[in-house]
Amino acid sequence: MILIAKYIVILFGVFLISVGLLMLLSPANAREYLRKAGSTNLINYSEITIRIIPAAGLILYSELSKYPEIFRIFGWFMIGTSLVLYLVPRRIHHKYALWCADILTPTYIRLTAPFSILFGCAIIYFAL
């Protein structure tokens, strides 16, 4: 189980790096993906449920990471925010995503891309 958790954490880091690269290289596409958040029941509840998988991986693998407490806190934070999002009406979640997409111009999306890339790299590094 711990080995599976390790690979889930590493895949989570790869995912964050990939999202960062998408934001950097194709901010218009990243913005369109953001606009879809919460747009349908399937998308809304799938994205919330899928967030729990890396969160559980972070918690399960925390003791073997370089910073166990940070992994554990971040994992529980992700689970807690996911549970809150289950309670938020889908329309409100979607409206918030549209509002964010309007504010985040392609330039702002490109400026935030390195944070996603660095965060993904840090998760992988601290997991190994």
Which residues constitute the domain of residue 15? 2-127
Distance CA 75, CA 83 (A): 12
Q: Would you say 54 and 19 are in contact if contact means Cβ atoms under 8 Å apart?
A: no
pLDDT score at 58? 97
CA distances from 17 to 6, 54, 91, 116, 125 (A): 17, 14, 29, 6, 12
pLDDT score at 33? 94
pLDDT score at 117? 98
The total domain count for the chain is: 1
pLDDT score at 13? 97
The model's pLDDT over 80-110, given as tens digits with 9 standing for 90+, comes to 999 999 999 999 999 999 999 999 999 999 9
The model's pLDDT over 41-74, given as tens digits with 9 standing for 90+, comes to 999 999 999 999 999 999 999 999 999 999 999 9
How many CA within 13 A on the CB side of residue 96?
10
pLDDT score at 53? 96
Distance CA 10, CA 7 (A): 5
Distance CA 59, CA 74 (A): 8
pLDDT score at 88? 95
Q: Would you say 67 and 126 are in contact if contact means Cβ atoms under 8 Å apart?
A: yes
